[in-house]
C-alpha cells in the first residue's frame, strides 16, 4: 500500500514537472517565436499594401455576424457593464436572449415572424421574445380550454418558474406557453407529439410531393386559429386572456399591462408622429 501511494505521489510529481516545463517553454523560447511571427505578419501586410492591391471586402456575413460578436466591459467604478459591441455603432443594443430551441414554429417562421403590418410589427416581434406563438395563435375551445399558462426555458424547453420577478423586462430567457386538457390531463400545447411531427416534416420536406406537403402543413397548422388573439385580449382590465398574477407579474406591472394606453395607441392611431413636447423650441420657431 505504501509503495502504491509513493508511486501515485511520484506520478503526480512527474505530471507537475511536465506542466512546469510547458510553462517555462511558453514564457521563454515559444515567446520569442510568437513575437517574431507577429512582427513578420505585420511586415507581410505592409508589403501587400505597398503593392496597391485593393483589400478584399469583407463578406456581409463577416460584417453582420462575426464583427458584431465582440463584447466590451465598461468599468464604471461602482459596477461593470458588459455588452455586445457592434462595430461602427454608437448604441450597442445587443440581444442576449438566445435562440428558442423548443419552438417548432420558429424553425420555419423565424424569431421575428411578424412582418406584414409595418406599424405594429415591432410591437409584435418584441412580444414574440417572451410569448410563445401558440399563446396568441391557438384558441382553445370548450373542454380543451384550461386557462393555464406557464413559462418554458428557451434553451432547454423545460417548464420553469416565472422569470418576471428576477429579471428585467426584455431579458427573460423564457416564454409563455398555454396548456390544454387532453383526456382530463394538463398538457402543454407544443406537445412532444406535435413537435416531432413538425420536425419530421422539416427533415423530409425535400422528398415529399406537393400534395403530401400540403397535407402535412394542414395538419401542423390545424391548431392555429385564423384570427389570433389581439392586443386588447390581454391589455384589458376586465378579463385579460393571460392570468398575469399566476404567471408571476406583480401588481404594478399588471396595472401597467392592463392599462388602456398601449391598446388605445395601437387601435386609435394609424400614423405615429413625434409628440411636439419632444421637440422643445420647435413650436416657437414656427410662430
Partner 1 sequence: MHARVKCEGCHTDITEIPHKPAKKVDCLVECHIVEPSSEKKFSHKDVETFLATSVHGRLDNEGKEKKYVEDYPNCKNCHDNPLYRPLSFFKKVRPGISEASLGRCRVCHKKEEFVFQFYNHVTTRLHKSRNPLNIAEMCGRCHDDPALVARHELSTKAVFSYGETFHGKAASFLDERVPDCLDCHVNKGESVHQMISHKDPKASTHDNNRGKICATIDCHPSASAKFASYGVHAEFSLVQSPAQYFFTVFFIILTGCTLLPLMGIIFLDIVRRFFPHAEMGRRK
Which residues of this chain interact with partner 1, rule CB under 8 A? 7, 10, 13-14, 17-18, 20-21, 24-25, 27-29, 31-32, 35, 38-39, 41-43, 45-46, 49, 72-78, 81, 85, 88-92, 118-119, 122, 271-274, 278-281
Residue 122 or 230: which CB sits closer to partner 1? 122
Helix (H, G, I), strand (E, B) or coil at 37: helix
CA distances from 287 to 104, 275, 277, 278, 283 (A): 57, 17, 16, 17, 7
- Report, in Å, the least distance between residue 18 CB and partner 1: 7
- Residue 268 CB, nearest approach to partner 1 (Å): 14
Of residues 45 and 108, the one with the C-beta less far from partner 1:
45
Indicate the residue among 67 and 202 with the shorter CB distance to partner 1.
Answer: 67
The Cα 129–Cα 106 span in angstroms is 11
- Residue 190 and residue 132 in contact, taking contact as beta carbons nearer than 8 Å: yes
The distance of closest approach from Cβ of residue 277 to partner 1 in the complex, given in angstroms and rounded to an integer, is 9
User: Which of 153, 124, 156 lies closest to 137, judged by CA?
Assistant: 124
Give the shortest CB-1-to-partner 1 separation in angstroms: 17
Radius of gyration of the chain (CA): 29
CB of 70 to partner 1, least distance (A): 9
Select 116 or 211, whichever has its Cβ closest to partner 1.
116
Give the E-state strand segments of 154-268 in sequence order: 159-160, 174-182, 185-188
Amino acid at each position: 500500500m505504501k509503495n502504491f501511494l509513493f508511486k501515485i505521489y511520484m506520478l503526480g510529481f512527474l505530471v507537475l514537472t511536465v506542466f512546469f516545463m510547458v510553462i517555462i517553454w511558453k514564457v521563454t523560447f515559444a515567446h520569442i517565436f510568437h513575437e517574431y511571427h507577429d512582427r513578420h505578419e505585420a511586415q507581410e501586410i505592409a508589403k501587400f499594401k505597398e503593392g496597391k492591391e485593393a483589400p478584399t471586402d469583407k463578406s456581409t456575413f463577416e460584417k453582420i455576424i462575426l464583427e458584431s460578436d465582440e463584447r466590451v466591459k465598461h468599468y464604471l467604478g461602482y459596477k461593470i457593464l458588459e455588452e455586445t459591441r457592434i462595430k461602427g455603432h454608437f448604441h450597442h443594443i445587443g440581444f442576449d436572449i438566445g435562440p428558442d430551441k423548443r419552438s417548432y414554429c420558429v424553425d420555419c417562421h423565424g424569431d421575428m415572424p411578424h412582418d406584414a403590418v409595418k406599424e405594429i410589427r415591432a410591437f409584435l416581434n418584441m412580444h414574440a421574445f417572451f410569448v410563445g406563438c401558440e399563446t396568441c395563435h391557438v384558441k382553445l375551445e370548450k373542454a380543451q380550454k384550461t386557462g393555464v399558462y406557464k413559462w418554458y426555458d428557451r434553451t432547454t424547453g423545460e417548464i420553469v418558474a416565472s422569470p418576471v420577478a428576477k429579471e428585467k423586462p426584455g431579458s427573460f430567457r423564457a416564454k409563455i406557453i398555454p396548456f390544454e386538457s387532453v383526456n382530463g390531463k394538463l398538457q402543454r400545447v407544443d406537445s412532444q407529439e406535435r413537435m416531432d411531427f413538425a420536425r419530421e416534416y422539416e427533415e423530409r420536406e425535400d422528398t415529399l410531393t406537393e400534395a403530401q406537403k400540403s397535407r402535412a402543413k394542414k395538419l401542423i397548422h390545424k391548431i392555429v386559429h385564423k384570427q389570433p388573439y389581439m392586443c386588447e385580449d390581454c391589455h384589458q382590465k376586465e378579463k385579460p386572456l393571460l392570468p398575469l398574477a399566476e404567471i408571476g407579474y406583480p401588481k404594478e406591472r399588471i396595472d401597467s399591462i392592463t392599462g388602456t394606453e398601449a391598446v388605445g395607441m395601437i387601435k386609435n392611431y394609424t400614423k405615429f408622429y413625434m409628440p411636439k413636447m419632444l421637440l422643445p423650441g420647435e413650436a416657437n420657431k414656427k410662430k
